[in-house]
Each structure stands twice: as structure tokens, then as C-alpha cells.
Amino acid sequence: MPEETVPPPPPIPSTAFAYAPAPPPRRRSAGFWLLIIGGSLLMLALLIAGTVWSTMQSLKADDSEENGIATSSKKIGVIEVTGVILTADTLSQQMRKMAADSDVKAIILHINSPGGGAAASQELFNEVVRIRKESHKKIIASIESVGASGAYYIASGCDRIYANDASVVGSIGVIMEWTNYGELLRWAKLKNVTLKAGELKDAGDPTRDLTPKEQSVWSDRRRCADRGLSCERRRARSSEPQAEGSRS
């Protein structure tokens, strides 16, 4: 029996893979770029406008805080008396401004100060008393944590004082002090050299003790300060308002 011959399978045609080249990037039109630039400028303008508006609102808030608390055309002026009182110029200007403003019906001195210079405190005290007499506006002292020495002296000229039970109020007095470090200089083998054209020009030099004459002069000045302090106390007591134990 003859063997059957199986024909070989037909060859598989090779497949050719053709890769089409990527299309060139589409060029943006001029209108597209104008739209992008315009949108960016609009966002920048909105950002600037928002910043300006926020600044104006902040300035209005600051002005409102300086000039007073307004509910309508009537206002209550609030003046901050904080820190050490070195000069009376700024506070006096604020008080005179509020005294001249017909919309301000009363003035609050918000005090948080340990006091300061005797002259500045005296000037502010006089300003408070003058405004009360001339403008007939109520001036109220509201003491936060501290209202001592010159700060209390200013408050004593007001119509009324309000303070918290934990507030430090009072302590009018005069003090003068310095540190004598002469022994330290001598230990370090250092010598202080002073050139002066007056016997008492270096009185109070912290590198040495006071001479008997300097002690006498300082004692006289202390007595002058005591006399001035006694005068201040008399004035404060004569115009001292009723004090309230707590604030609402």
C-alpha cells in the first residue's frame, strides 16, 4: 500500500508593521495666547483689588478703634494708655481730638501701664481735668492689669475708675536707684577715668560711692521730689473719682 504524502503547510506570509509618523504639534492661535494673558491679568487685578480692599478695611478698623466705638452718629472714644509713659504728646493729641469731636459723647482711657515720667503724667492729668471741665464729657478710666504710679495719677483725674479685682492699682511714689560696680572694676584691675568741669557733674557715678556733699545734694533733691509727690497726692485725692471693684 503506497504511503500518502502530506503536503507541507503553506508558508505564513510575513506581516509588515508600518508606523505612521506622529503628527506635528498643533500651533496655538494668537487668540489662545491672548485669552491666557487676559485671564492672568484679570486674576492679578482681582488679587490687587482684594489686597487694597482688605487694607482699607483694616485702616477703617484702626481708625474706628482710635476714634471710638460707634453705634450710630454717637461714639465712645477709646484711648490706649499702655507701657511706660515717657511723653504726653500723643495721648494729649488724641484726647483733644476726641474732645473737639461732637460725635464723641464720652472717652474711655484703657490703662495698662506701670507709670512713667512725673512731668508726662502731670501733663496728662491736667489734660484730663481740663477736658472734663471745658467739654463736659465723661472720661472713664478702665484699668486692665496695671494702673500704677503715674498711670494711676492720670486715672485719678477721670470721672470714674473701673478695675478688675486682680488689677494692680495705686503705688504712687518716687524712686532713684543705680548699681555700684566699683568693686567689680577693681577686681578686674580696671580703672574708671572721668573728666569733668563741675564739682557735682559726676554725682551718682556707679563706679564709686557718693561723697558726703553728693549725699546732701541728693537728699535735698529727694525732699523736693517728696514735696512734688505730696502735691500730686493732694491733687489726686481732691479729684479722685469713685473706684469700682470690677469691670463689666
Which residue in the list 60, 74, 201, 213 is annotated as catalytic?
201
Residues 98 and 2: their CA atoms lie apart, in Å, by: 132
Report residue 241 as a C-alpha cell. 473719682
**Helix (H) or strand (E) segment spanning residue 95:** helix 89-100
From 92, 135, 149, 156, active-site residue? 149
* Whether 76 contacts 68, CB under 8 Å: yes
CA 208 to chain centre: 39
CA distances from 229 to 114, 127, 149, 173 (A): 16, 19, 11, 7
Pairing of strands 160-163, 138-148: parallel
Q: Which residue type, as a one-letter code, is found at position 184?
A: L
- Please give the distance of CA 63 from its chain centroid, rounded to a whole number: 14
Active site residue 201: yes
Clarify whether 105 is annotated catalytic: no
- DSSP letters for 179-201: ---HHHHHHTT-------SSTTT
Q: Is 235 exposed, middle or buried, given 0-12, 13-18 or 19+ CB atoms closer than 10 A?
A: middle
User: What secondary structure does DSSP assign to 34-87, as a single string?
Assistant: HHHHHHHHHHHHHHHHHHHHHHHHHHHHHHHHHH-EESSS-EEEEEEEES-B--
Question: Active-site residue numbers?
Answer: 149, 201
